[in-house]
Chains A and B, each alone.
Chain A
Amino acid sequence: MKAGRAGLVAGGLVALLGFGVFWSATDGFTAFTAETARRAEILRSPRSLPAVALEDQDGRRFSLQDYRGRLLAVEFIYTRCTTICRSLGMAFRQVRERLPAQALGHEVALLSISFDAARDDPASLKAYGQAFGADGAHWRIARIHSPAEVAPLLAAFGVVVIPDGMGGFEHNAAIHLLGRDGKLTQISDIDQPVEFADRIASSL
């Protein structure tokens, strides 16, 4: 039964190779979804972000790079959103309340960015901010000024936005942390705002 043994050996080799492929394709059997993979990759190698022109709720122009030297928490929203962005807004509010008050604005800031550049004008951004208690200074609500720059910024963050078929959007919602060097360094679940804030506080 020489052929049978050869088959066994070949089968074993294929299985070994298969496990190897699965191991590398799932980051050692830890990341089975694109979202976990994104978070793991950011932790391993923080990512530079494009200098995109943003416009806040008062019509002021700025960019992510203006926050260099400070920590910045970023979430992606659209103001008509009634489902996940509500949780995002609430989560951000909890982060803000948990952070040491004296550090707010000086060492750490919050920023909600709308990806619905076509419909979210400064007025709706302002209304959204007021609904969640954003002060417009330490926690700003902004939109991406040029619609053409929405896709590159979302891609740099690894955020995928898809229409939900009812006029709204669904997206992989999370809280993103930009380090003092302006790089995306950490991505956290929206249901763990307290842990996120504590991690920031401990690195201040």
Chain B
Amino acid sequence: MNLHARISLGACYLFLATPVARSALEAAMSTHMLLQIPLLAAAGVLLARLLPVARQDALLTACGGALPLVVLALFASSYWMLPRALDAALGDPLTEAAKFISLPLLVGLPLALAWRQLTAIGRGFVWTNFISMLAVLGWLYIAAPVRVCNNYLVDEQGSTGWLMVKLALLLFAGWLGTLFVGGNVAPVAVPASSRDDARQANPA
């Protein structure tokens, strides 16, 4: 059992939830949106990967396959892109709790479970959808004539927008690169995660 990894993951998650880490990451719009939220989603991905492979497969089957899980992750991640949701998370402890629970469990975890079954086209869809959402939202933040978040300065909104556009371009370049190099996007028959599976199958 990868007990150490689980404890570390739990510790990281709890650390993110401490008032110190929260106020540090939520003080700026850019770190709130582009660091805290992705880290919480990543915690969900790791959580899924730390489950035994048989468990992951059983969960995937129980949820009706990859499609509902991808749709769930799309909606849940889009929700936290609403400026209104960010403001609410800062002012309302219940919304903040919902953010900390939903990002790992409704975004990271389902995406990681579905990923094993997704074809190259499915993965491409998830990537391009995410990248374009990031770019469009970034552009909106740059072009918005008004402050979209009451809790963040208007200058910060513009700089966060540029960061999002740059990040989207970087991710797109990276994704395009893997298409041609053929590294991460594996053909249908051999999921990329099979290497991890092999490692997990041998108890250390």
**A positions within 8 Å CB-CB of B:** 3-4, 6-11, 13-15, 17-18, 21-22, 25-26, 31-37, 160, 162, 164-165, 170-172
Residue of B nearest to A6 (CB): B64
- Please give, as numbers and ranges, the residues of chain A lying within 8 Å of B91 by CB-CB distance: 160
Contacts A10-B63, A34-B83 known; list 4 others, CB within 8 Å.
A7-B65, A7-B66, A22-B75, A162-B150
Interface string of B71-104 (1 = CB under 8 A from A): 1101110110011110110010000000000000
Flag whether B17 is at the interface (Cβ < 8 A). no
- Please give, as numbers and ranges, the residues of chain A lying within 8 Å of B148 by CB-CB distance: 32-33
Contact A34 B150 (CB under 8 A): yes
User: Within the complex, which residue of A4, A33, A170 is in contact with B154, where a contact is CB–CB below 8 Å?
Assistant: A170
User: Within the complex, which residue of A10, A15, A31 is in contact with B84, where a contact is CB–CB below 8 Å?
Assistant: A31
- Please give, as numbers and ranges, the residues of chain B lying within 8 Å of A32 by CB-CB distance: 82-84, 148
Contact B87 A34 (CB under 8 A): yes
- Please give, as numbers and ranges, the residues of chain A lying within 8 Å of B76 by CB-CB distance: 18
Chain B interface, number of residues (Cβ within 8 angstroms): 31
- Please give, as numbers and ranges, the residues of chain A lying within 8 Å of B74 by CB-CB distance: 18
Flag whether B149 is at the interface (Cβ < 8 A). yes
Residue of A nearest to B86 (CB): A34
Contact A21 B65 (CB under 8 A): no
Query: How far apart are A188's CB and chain B's nearest CB, in angstroms?
Result: 14
Residue of A nearest to B72 (CB): A14
Flag whether B153 is at the interface (Cβ < 8 A). yes
Contact A34 B149 (CB under 8 A): yes
Query: How far apart are B99's CB and chain A's nearest CB, in angstroms?
Result: 13
The complex places the Cα of A31 from the Cα of B153 at a distance, in Å, of 20
Residue of B nearest to A173 (CB): B147
Flag whether B172 is at the interface (Cβ < 8 A). no
Flag whether B67 is at the interface (Cβ < 8 A). yes
Using known A-B contacts A3-B61, A6-B64, A34-B149, determine if residue A26 contacts B71 with beta carbons closer than 8 Å. no
The complex places the Cα of A9 from the Cα of B65 at a distance, in Å, of 11
- Please give, as numbers and ranges, the residues of chain B lying within 8 Å of A25 by CB-CB distance: 79, 82, 84-85
User: Within the complex, which residue of B67, B75, B82, B88 is in contact with A10, where a contact is CB–CB below 8 Å?
Assistant: B67
The complex places the Cα of A172 from the Cα of B152 at a distance, in Å, of 10
Flag whether B159 is at the interface (Cβ < 8 A). no
- Please give, as numbers and ranges, the residues of chain B lying within 8 Å of A8 by CB-CB distance: 67
Residue of B nearest to A8 (CB): B67
User: Within the complex, which residue of A11, A17, A165 is in contact with B67, where a contact is CB–CB below 8 Å?
Assistant: A11
Query: How far apart are A26's CB and chain B's nearest CB, in angstroms?
Result: 7
Flag whether B187 is at the interface (Cβ < 8 A). no
The complex places the Cα of A33 from the Cα of B91 at a distance, in Å, of 14
Using known A-B contacts A34-B88, A162-B153, determine if residue A3 contacts B65 with beta carbons closer than 8 Å. yes
- Please give, as numbers and ranges, the residues of chain A lying within 8 Å of B151 by CB-CB distance: 160, 162
- Please give, as numbers and ranges, the residues of chain B lying within 8 Å of A17 by CB-CB distance: 75
Flag whether B7 is at the interface (Cβ < 8 A). no
User: Within the complex, which residue of A9, A14, A31, A33 is in contact with B149, where a contact is CB–CB below 8 Å?
Assistant: A33
Q: Which of chain B's residues 126-177 have a Cβ closer than 8 Å to chain A?
A: 146-154
The complex places the Cα of A15 from the Cα of B69 at a distance, in Å, of 10
Contact B84 A22 (CB under 8 A): no
Query: How far apart are A33's CB and chain B's nearest CB, in angstroms?
Result: 5
